[in-house]
Amino acid sequence: MEVESVVGANANSNALLDDDGKARRTGTVWSASAHIITAVIGAGVLSLAWAMAQLGWILGTTSILIFAGVTLYTSNLLADCYRSPHPVTGKRNHTYMEAVKAHLGGRMHMICGLIQYSNLVGIAIGYTITTSISVVTIVKNNCMKKHNGSEADCHFSNNPSIIGIAIAEIFLSQIPNFHKLSWISFLAAIMSFGYAFIGIGLSLTIIIQGKGKSTSLFMGKTGQSSSENIWNMLVALGNIALANSYAQISIDIQDSLKSTPAENKVMKMANSIGIITMSIIFLLSGGAGYAAFGEDTPGSILNTTGNEHVWLVYMGNVFIIIHILGAYQVLIQPFYHIVELLVSQRWPSSNFINKEYFVGIGKIQFSINLFRLIWRTMFVVVASVLAMAMPFFNNMLALLGAIGFWPLAVYFPIQMIIVKRNIRKGTMPWIGLQSLSLVCMIVSIAAACAAIHGLGQALGKYKPFMYKA
């Protein structure tokens, strides 16, 4: 470290290193925009048609645009928090949590970490549910083909596929630094764009063939009580919030940019490009899906059965399975590492925690550590059991979106910028920023309540672990 900082001080004279002593960064506005777009194009996109169906055309479109606008605004605030005290000449912070610590202090840093990591655990559950629904969709479509399109004999539990996914993830979890394999992110990007566009394509073919269902300008479903409608609309907002979320990795993306032109300027441009592209894809996917499936739009548009373009449904779901099996590790491995680091600092002399055993099968060498083996396995098992207990796609995704959106995408960026720009309490800018934060908090809480209400209702209908799609 010491060597690094000495070198860092002379960085200007060294073409290979940046001002913090790290290897010269090479990212541009295009690579940053690409990172943002791949972060927001995920399975969440497939839920937007359902969200649109709950909200109707006007509220649905407006909500997608408003969430995009708020995300753009707060992401731009966040771009100024990468360096501090000055946004162009200050010192770098490399992650979201470091930036929160530098601006708001140790306690907020802890709270931020707690929210981020509990969100991760939630996403592991959400990923497991999403993948298992894809497996069940494939199995169910196959079964219906055998039964001449009748659904009656084709109901399946998610549990076997969740157990299969858990076994796969237990193995993948043992591969250290799986998340740093560069072909993984490349593959993930292709897969997620693949299924997002398959979803759009499937909807468009249905519309073009004139088989689209009727839709409405204002809220959603007929034939259910208005309180049910309102709950669903709030869950829809939670789904949109989740689809938007990339605040957690925004600083990491900025940390890959080269330093001229100033990172915050480039990042703001990347935010605009990323969010405009994202909104176009969201509106296309949400709008086309709603126009194709009408008020009975399924939770995820690739979660359809009895469709005549069944091969598109198969292909899309295979893409989802491949994407999410990998994305799970990309997301969770940093969390594994942090827990292992903390535990080994706490018990530095324990063999169980620290000893590596080397095992060789032929030419392949493994290093096995008992604590790592057991703790990573336990993590996957617990996430999978929770997924089996509550395999409800939209409610689960909405709960995650609602919990993550306000604190990570709105609250922390706003509080940091208030400190950074020295905005005094009671002034107009302060009132403006805090009101935005307050409104977003209310929306987040309402969406979280609606999601919990929905989970409660679903659990009332199906006993835990007994749900069949």
Interface with ligand NAG by CB under 6 A: which residues? Answer: 84, 90-91, 93, 98, 102
**With respect to ligand NAG, which residue has the nearer C-beta, 169 or 263?**
263
- Beta strand pairing call for 357-361 and 364-368: antiparallel
Q: What are the CA-CA distances from residue 179 to residues 113, 269, 329, 448 (Å)? A: 20, 27, 6, 30
Residue placing its CB nearer to ligand NAG in the complex, 372 or 420: 420
What's the closest the beta carbon of residue 83 comes to ligand NAG, in angstroms?
7
Q: Name 213's Cβ contacts closer than 8 Å, sequence gap at least 6.
A: 291, 292, 293, 294, 295, 296
Round to whole Å and give the CA distance between 311 and 305: 11
Tell which residue, 332, 340, 298, has the closest CA to residue 127.
332
DSSP 86: S
Max distance between CA atoms of the chain, in angstroms, equals: 73
> Smallest distance, Å, CB 336 to ligand NAG?
21
Nearer to ligand NAG, 40 or 100 (CB): 100
Check: CB of residue 39 under 8 Å from CB of residue 248: no
Please state, in angstroms and as integers, the Cα–Cα distance from residue 210 to each residue in 203, 207, 443, following that order: 11, 5, 37
* Pick 63 or 93: Cβ nearer ligand NAG: 93
Pick 109 or 258: Cβ nearer ligand NAG: 109
Min dist. Cβ of residue 92 to ligand NAG (A)? 6
Question: Distance of CA 56 to CAs 71, 163, 225, 416, 435, Å?
Answer: 22, 37, 16, 36, 27
Minimum CB separation of residue 417 from ligand NAG in Å reads 15
Q: How far is the CB of 411 from ligand NAG (least distance, A)?
A: 20
To ligand NAG, the closest distance from the beta carbon of 133 in angstroms equals 40
Please report how close the Cβ of residue 77 comes to ligand NAG at its closest, in angstroms: 16
Q: In the 8-state DSSP scheme, what is residue 175?
A: S
Residues 6+ apart with CB under 8 A from 83: 89, 90, 91, 92, 93, 263, 264
Q: Which amino acid is at 398?
A: A
Angle at 316 between CA 232 and CA 299, to 5 degrees: 10
Least separation, in Å, of the C-beta of 101 and ligand NAG?
7
CB of 45 or CB of 417, closer to ligand NAG: 417
By C-beta, is 90 or 176 nearer to ligand NAG?
A: 90
Nearer to ligand NAG, 102 or 423 (CB): 102
Residue 230 to residue 328: CA distance in whole angstroms: 32
User: Before 464, cis peptide (omega within 30)?
Assistant: no
Closest to ligand NAG by CB, 5 or 224: 5
Q: Please, which residues bridge with residue 92 across strands?
A: 83
In angstroms, give the least distance from the CB of 22 to ligand NAG: 10
